[in-house]
Chains A and B, each alone.
Chain A
Amino acid sequence: GAVVSQHPSWVICKSGTSVKIECRSLDFQATTMFWYRQFPKQSLMLMATSNEGSKATYEQGVEKDKFLINHASLTLSTLTVTSAHPEDSSFYICSATLLVHQETQYFGPGTRLLVL
């Protein structure tokens, strides 16, 4: 089946630093990648939708200058949390859809971010 990887799987950083999270589709081309955030005991919340070669579409309330998304190829999207603060500590998950079957989303394993 289609595999999506994320790197790193967990990261601890100091407040004020920037953190980059990578999302890769390993064995397929993904036209669209989604970035989600999940706080403890809560459900996934969509942050943004990323299409290869174009600007990401952010959900209401998500700061595009704080959460920079780059989707430079059909297999890689990156999320950069700029000037991270403790309230950005969360579980970040990406998903990707196949070029030819866009109804099914394949989820990455997630990245746990802790900002001290």
Chain B
Amino acid sequence: KNEVEQSPQNLTAQEGEFITINCSYSVGISALHWLQQHPGGGIVSLFMLSSGKKKHGRLIATINIQEKHSSLHITASHPRDSAVYICAVRGATNKLIFGTGTLLAVQP
């Protein structure tokens, strides 16, 4: 079992839909990251969380430390949101442990 699990692995949505991607982890962490990987491979850091909730534009990230769970929400999804979304946790060694990613396709 992976230390960081994401669901779903693949997600297809219609433009405008509300999207949720989930991340569960099994190790103690100091922070959790949500990353976006574009089709060309480049990675953008979206959020770094250690508690609570953060919002940036149409993106919202939440984390529940007790339940070892985080969610990434996209409101009013758009085709340009199509990408792979990766959850990564920072463990005791200060290294990032990555989930396998969620491939999101938003259709017009």
A contacts, CB < 8 Å to B? 34, 38, 42-46, 49, 91, 93, 95, 102-107, 109-110, 112
Q: Given A43-B101, A112-B41, A103–B96 Cβ distance below 8 Å? A: no
Bound: A78/B94 CA distance, A: 22
B69 CB, nearest partner CB in chain A, Å: 18
Contacts of B41 in A (CB 8 A): 38, 91, 93, 109-110, 112
Instruction: Indicate whether B83 reaches chain A with its CB closer than 8 angstroms.
Output: no
Q: Does B76 contact A (CB under 8 A)?
A: no
CB distance from B101 to the nearest CB of A (A): 6
A sample of 27 cross-chain residue pairs with beta-carbon separation below 8 angstroms, ordered by A number, consists of A34-B95, A43-B86, A43-B98, A43-B99, A44-B86, A44-B88, A44-B98, A45-B98, A93-B41, A95-B43, A102-B94, A103-B31, A103-B48, A104-B45, A105-B33, A105-B96, A106-B45, A107-B35, A107-B43, A107-B44, A107-B45, A109-B40, A109-B41, A110-B40, A110-B41, A110-B43, A112-B41
Count B-side interface residues using an 8 Å CB cutoff.
21
Interface residues, chain B, with chain A CB atoms under 8 Å away: 30-31, 33, 35, 40-45, 48, 86, 88, 90, 94-96, 98-101
Closest beta carbon of chain A to B94's beta carbon, Å: 8
- B100 near A43 with CB under 8 A, answer yes
